[in-house]
Amino acid sequence: TIGGLQSSRQLGGGGGEGGDSGTDCYCPCAGIGSSDAPPNTQYHVYNNRSGENLHRAGMIGSSNNSSELYQQHSLQQIQQQQQQQQLEPVKVRTVLVRTIHGINHEDLQKENVPLGIMYSAKALMQLFTNPFIGPLTYRIGYSIPMFAGFVIMFISTIIFAFGNSYAVLFAARALQGVGSSCSSVSGMGMLAECYPDDKERGNAMGLALGGLALGVLIGPTFGGIMYEYFNKTAPFLVLAFLALGDGMLQLLVLKPEVRPQLKKAPTLTELIQDPYIIVAAGAITFANMGIGILEPSLPIWMMDRMNSTKLEQGTIFLPASISYLIGTNLFGPLGHIMGRSMAAFLGLILSGVSMIFIPFATSQRHLILPTAGLGFAIGMVDSSMMPELGNLVDLRHSNVYGSVYSIGD
């Protein structure tokens, strides 16, 4: 219809259906529907977008010459449109399909950078905050920084619930990194202090990392379902309510108070210069780098390549979360038996192999095994190297753990 309307205007337009409406233009010639039309003349006008044949019978002028002239114009119009369809059929159909699904490739490509920066804001703030939290635990103990982490995370969750602009969400994500730093460094240090035996420490940290896996397991799926059927605010309000429960448990069980460390603690510089600690922290870094790359990029890639829904984007990390939960609980005690260095070594190999297969996926089914393998590999490395960091501090320094877990985290 677009092509027919353009031709009508080029040939003089006006008159009847052909010149008045873009949606009712059945002939590229002017004057269809006028009173001076001869009988038994048919025209075939092709829709420029879909190639649909819009067939209408027309009545045109009283002379045979004018009839032949109009038919000649119709044939020329058909030939031009067919040539155009042969040149760009795939491009037109692709644009139409993506428009129907509300997806535009160029727009999605532009989303990659700001979304990646927002994701990295949390880790960047943890990187800056951890060196201060570790020494702080020497002076006031572990319970107060952990409770402070809960308060900060609660505030961050409320900001996420009601924030709409990029700047506000970025600030909430950065604040989340500060809270995570307080909770993670204090929590791992507290476990290392409470369980001095290497085997018991490995089991305890495996369970603690399993709690992390459970949050990662539920979070994306729960968020995807709530966003699909409710709105953005709903999952964050539920999360804030659960965080309040966590804060109440900390007040009842941990009873936050100042408990300074009596032993001389190793400095952060001494720990960074220890090659064994650097190797262990490096293994944790490279194992988690894979999932760090996928979190901001995989949902956008799925939207672009697979036209995935919000629910599908939320559940795509489900295999990785389940396998991480299995890996952390399995290799907490198993790492002590087979050797934590060997467990981390095998985990890094599995992580690399899993990452190789992800770009070749053409459907969501193809992503299940690689993401599951990646999650299991990270579980192997985390549950092996986190207890090993505490063991290295016991053997090579003094058994005060805040700074070493600020490095590992």
| Residues 6+ away with beta carbon under 8 Å from 375 | 213, 291, 319, 320, 321, 322, 323, 324, 327
Q: What 3-state class would DSSP assign to 358?
A: helix
- Residue 218: what pLDDT? 75
Strand partners, 215: none
- Residue 6: what pLDDT? 42
- Residue 105: what pLDDT? 58
Tokens describing residue 259: 């408990």
Tokens describing residue 354: 């899993």
- Residue 32: what pLDDT? 41
CB burial string 239-275: b at 16+ within 10 A, e below: bbeebeeeeeebeeebebeeeebeeebbebeebeebe
Maximum distance among all Cα pairs of the chain, rounded to whole angstroms:
111
Helix (H) or strand (E) holding 245: helix 233-249
Could you identify the residue written with the tokens 């309040």?
244
Closest C-alpha to 386, from 195, 242, 231, 241: 195
Closest C-alpha to 347, from 324, 368, 367, 366: 324
Backbone angles phi, psi at 307, to 5 degrees: 50, 45
Could you identify the residue written with the tokens 């009545």?
59
- Residue 152: what pLDDT? 94
| Residues 6+ away with beta carbon under 8 Å from 311 | 224, 225, 228
| Check whether domain 103-408 has CATH 1.20.1250.20, yes or no | yes
Q: What burial class does residue 341 get, using C-beta atoms within 10 Å of its C-beta: 0-12 exposed, 13-18 middle, 19+ buried?
A: middle
- Residue type (1 letter), 378: I
60, 38 contact by CB (below 8 A):
yes
Name the residue ranges covered by the structural domains of the chain.
2-87, 103-408
- Residue 294: what pLDDT? 86
18, 27 contact by CB (below 8 A):
yes
- Residue 333: what pLDDT? 84
> pTM of the entire structure?
0.65
Mean pLDDT of residues grouped by 10 in the chain (409 residues)?
40 42 42 43 42 41 48 60 52 39 58 77 89 88 91 93 89 92 90 87 85 74 80 88 90 86 82 92 91 83 80 80 88 86 94 92 88 92 90 86 85
- Residue 275: what pLDDT? 93
